[in-house]
Structures are given as structure tokens and as C-alpha cells.
Amino acid sequence: MNNTVQYDIASIRDDFPILQRKIFGKPLVYLDNAASTQRPVQVINAIKDLYEGHYANVHRGVHTLSQESTNLYNEARAKVRSFIHASCVHEVVFTRGTTESINLVAQCYARPRLRPGDEILITHMEHHSNIVPWQMVCEQTGAILKVVPISDKGELEMERFHELLGEKTKLVSVVQVSNALGTVNPVKEIIAAAHAFGVPVLVDGAQAVPHIPIDVQKLDADFYAFSGHKIYGPTGVGVLYGKEKLLSEMPPYQGGGDMILSVSFEKTTYNQLPYKFEAGTPNIAGVIGLGAAIDYVQKVGLGIIAAHEHGLLEYATARLRDIDGLRIIGEANQKAGLISFVLDCVHPHDIGTMLDGEGVAVRAGHHCAQPVMERYGVPATARASFAMYNTFGEIDVLAEAIKKTIQMFK
């Protein structure tokens, strides 16, 4: 067990009420964090406090409650700006999540600019949310989707990336951390290479923001997308960062509500950034909850969290490698805290069911990354993914539960 990192894990776990649950009479071991993390009481209380003491619609009212809600909402946007190191709050657009953020860029940035024969470059390890929007845009415009292959270890074949990148490339969209493999991609190198051709880059940061400090200016990312529920915040809220110049040139995504300055039957004048892309009443509680989640993560410290999760990853990798009949899918040199695996004698869905009987929650399936499954010749994997509140003891429970599963199916 790795005890080198000084970490008040007991105090952190006390902040997450759901971790006190028992499943089939056994302590919950929650290892499905890549799908969605749990929420600390600080986030739960921020949402509860809003509804109990301050709630009203934002931006429209002159009364006290509306002004209080608006102030809390605006403070949350400022927290996001600081967290990802955007240059200004105008570059932070609230969406329903990473998926909507990518679709917004596909329809409002890419679609008006693409012509038949133009190319969009993605990778073989993308989540469906970073594949399907580009396929739709290609169908709409006649553009062509190009895909960077991945190695047996689960790493991008960077030589092929540089070969595929060229004068026809009009946009690159790449995941920073693979949700199916855990691979951490060299996005800074990718962005620099794309910019040498004048090509903008969208980074899917859904799996990165809970684990890696993000500075969109240092990365020089043109667009960056992530979801609140991956970083201990509410569901139904996410962020699209975009460089102000690019966002300013893009048409709105939807019409109505906050995205207008004035409307007549002859003409509508659109609002300034970021409101131009935030039609309708926003997810006020979700945004404020996201702000509280960012406060919580920053209080603990992303660097400390990352060190703890890396220790968990190393320990879990060693424990699982010792299990006969278990194969880890994705062993990149640079990985975040998740392990996808298969067993010789058990389907992943059965693994998930058996582990649940031991109180262990893992994800089983294709993880919305079917091309990755096809690449490794498996229908699905079981995936254990780690968060700041997981312990080395929970890894031991996981390993023993897997061994018990193997014995049951033998």
C-alpha cells in the first residue's frame, strides 16, 4: 500500500453522505467515478441554500431574490473562469454538459465554415459525444471525418496524427483523458501542431478536469468542454470555453430568452457573450452547485488529489495484474485513475452484477466508446475508476470480489 501521500481521506469521505450507504449489507465501494462522481455536502448544501433562501430567476428581476440569485450565478461563472484560467468570463458558456458543448461548436463554428472535401480530425479513442456530432456535420456539409489510430497499449499513434493533419484539416477534436482506457493524451503537442496549419482545436476535458489542473491559455486550446457531474457537481450543467474571438464570430445555437438584446418582428439583436449561447432560463441551481464543487476541489487541491489517485491507480494495477485470467485494456504510459479490464470466463455485465453483490460499484459495457471496444476485439469491459474519496482498502475489496467472481463462474 502506498502511504507516501499525506492525505486526510477520512475527513474527505465524511463530506460525502452516500459513502455511508450499504449495498446488500456491505459497505459501498463506489468505483464508477468516470461515469459520474458523488457530491459532497458542500455542493448539496449550496443547492439547498439557494432554493430555501435565495431562489428567483436570474438577470431579469429588480427584486432582492432575483438580484441574490444573479449574484450567486455570476460568482459561479467567475469561479469557472479562474479554475480553467480563461482570460475573461465572456469565454465561459454554460451548457447542459460536454455533449451539448461539442454539439454547439459543431453546429455554430464548424458547420458554417466547412465545404465538401474539408476534413475534421478526431481519434480512435473518442467518446460517442465526440464522434457523432462530427459525423452529423460531415453529412450536412460534405466534409470528411479522419481518425487517428491508437496502439495496442492505448496510446495515440502520433506519427499518424502528424501525417493526417494537413491543409484540408479544418478542425481537430480530441479527448484529453480517455473514458474507456484512462490514457492521458498529449493535447498541448496536438494543439501546437494543429495551430501550425492554422487549425483550431476542441478538447474534450470531461475526464480531465477532476484529475488534472487545467490552464486553457497555456494549452492554447480554442475550445474546451467539460461536465459538472464529473467533478463532484450536479448533473445537467457543463461548460464550453471558447476563445472570445471565435465565439464572437459564431452564430447563436438556440433562440429565445437571455440570448437576445431586443426583438421585433423585423429583426432580433443578439446579446453579448456569453449570453448569446445561453437561451432560455438557465440551470441556476446546477451552475451554483458547480461553483461549490469547484470551491471544494480547490480547497482539497487538485495536485494532492492527483497524487492520491495516481497512488490508487498504481496499487490497483498491481493487484489486478496478479489475478489469473484478468486482462487490462489500455496500459498507456500516461494514465488517469481508471482501469478497464476483462475476464477470460465472465462477461463484463456479469462482472458488474457479481461485484454489486459485494457492494462494489463499477461500470460494465462499451462506455459510449464502441470503436475502442472494436479496436481491442471485446464487446465490452468492466471499468473501475477512482476519485479523491477512494481508499487503498477499497482496492483490496475490488480485487477480492473479482477473485470471488472468477471462482463462481469456474
Q: d(Cα 85, Cα 101) in Å, to the nearest integer?
A: 18
Residue 330 backbone zone (phi > 0: left; psi -120 to 50: alpha; other: beta): left
- Secondary structure element (H or E) that encloses residue 363, with its range: strand 363-365
Q: d(Cα 114, Cα 120) in Å, to the nearest integer?
A: 9
Q: Beta-strand (E) ranges in 79-217?
A: 92-95, 119-123, 144-148, 169-175, 201-204
Q: d(Cα 363, Cα 31) in Å, to the nearest integer?
A: 8
Q: Residue 238 has what DSSP assignment?
A: E
Helix, coil or strand: residue 360:
strand
**What does the block give as the cell for 223?**
475550445
Residue 55 in contact with residue 305, Cβ under 8 Å?
no
Side-chain-side CA neighbours of 254 within 13 Å: the count stands at 14
Q: d(Cα 406, Cα 348) in Å, to the nearest integer?
A: 12
* Residue 138 known to be catalytic: no
The catalytic residue among 88, 108, 345, 368 is 368
Query: Which active-site residues does the annotation give?
Result: 368
